Amino acid sequence: MKSNPVYKREVTVRARSFRMPLIILVFNGILAVVALLNMYSAVAQVRISASVQYSSFLQLYAFVATLEFLLLMFIMPALTSGSISGERERQTLELLFTTRMTPKDIVMGKLFSALSQLMVLIVSSFPILLLTFVYGSMDLMDLAFLMVCFLVTAVFCGGIGIFSSSLMRRSTFSNVCTYGILLLVVVGTYMLNIFLLNMSQMQIAEEIYQLGETRPAASSGSAVYLLLLNPLATFGEIMEKQVTGGIADLSIRRFLGNGPDNFVIRHWIPVSILVQTVFSAGLVRGAVYFLNPLKNEKK
């Protein structure tokens, strides 16, 4: 990326802008206020009960990590959804095509410049996440695993943004398309599984079982595998493993019922990370295709 002119220009412009320090200030300010308020509440509880409950500090870690994850998931599309469509609106995209840069160079330069900006936010938030380490509740491996999840989610959301930006000619339409796809993937897959789970519960409740017969557990069926594309489901599984009872509402276990314990279910986190990475690569590939000015001539 050091030899990519688009990447160097974007990084230089953002480094000189007042916008980047402001984003870092607001981002870490929100995390710090939430973390300190929760820590103050936990310490006040210790003074009242005269006993240290480490579960409170684990919940602090889960709460701060969840807030940071949600902020990153909405910031990354904002950084990429107008990157290429903005060049069209400023009528500078044609100038980029007159250089030796390929559409791939433009797309990768835009994507990695936004990703590097987001990595600054992630690294700058380390001291806030490490507040819980004072009480010995988490270890560095858990933090490293969480950072991998943040990085994959950033690439995933950035891929959606860069794809929409290459497809749409206006930044307004690109923003709507980006957040629409993100809403469909994150909220839509969960709502579909919840709907199918409720339907399964209603069907089981209507059936009549003989005395001594085991009532089956409700499940959402094969629709649970759609959550492999959902970054929030992956994050929920990581929190469930790191913090006991961390985010039960985001866990896939509630949708499985008595379903089979296959390879995908046993290795949900690495498989979902792989699926999201492949999907992100496909989005970047699609962005390069739609940005290519010669695609119509090739046809």
Q: How far is the C-alpha of 183 from the C-alpha of 163, rounded, in Å?
A: 15
**Do residues 257 and 200 make contact, with C-beta atoms less than 8 angstroms apart?**
yes
Q: How far is the C-alpha of 263 from the C-alpha of 270, rounded, in Å?
A: 11
Q: For residue 122, is it within any domain?
A: yes
Other residues' Cβ atoms within 10 Å of the Cβ of residue 32: 15
Q: How far is the C-alpha of 111 from the C-alpha of 237, rounded, in Å?
A: 27
Total domain count, the chain? 1
Domain carrying residue 175: 5-291
Q: For residue 38, is it within any domain?
A: yes
Q: For residue 299, is it within any domain?
A: no
Q: For residue 287, is it within any domain?
A: yes
Q: For residue 297, is it within any domain?
A: no
Q: For residue 296, is it within any domain?
A: no
Give pLDDT tens digits along the chain (299 positions): 567 888 888 888 877 778 888 888 888 888 888 888 877 777 777 677 666 566 666 777 788 888 889 888 888 998 898 889 888 888 888 888 888 888 898 999 999 988 988 888 888 888 887 776 666 556 677 778 888 899 999 999 999 999 999 988 888 899 999 999 999 999 999 999 999 988 888 887 777 665 556 677 788 888 899 999 999 999 988 888 877 655 666 778 888 877 667 888 888 999 999 999 999 999 999 999 988 876 645 44
pLDDT at 299: 46
Q: For residue 298, is it within any domain?
A: no
**Do residues 127 and 39 make contact, with C-beta atoms less than 8 angstroms apart?**
no
Give the global pTM.
Answer: 0.86
pLDDT at 138: 64
Question: HSE of 132 in the Cβ direction (CA atoms, 13 Å)?
Answer: 26
Number of H helices and number of E strands within the chain? Answer: 15, 0
Q: How far is the C-alpha of 242 from the C-alpha of 255, rounded, in Å?
A: 20
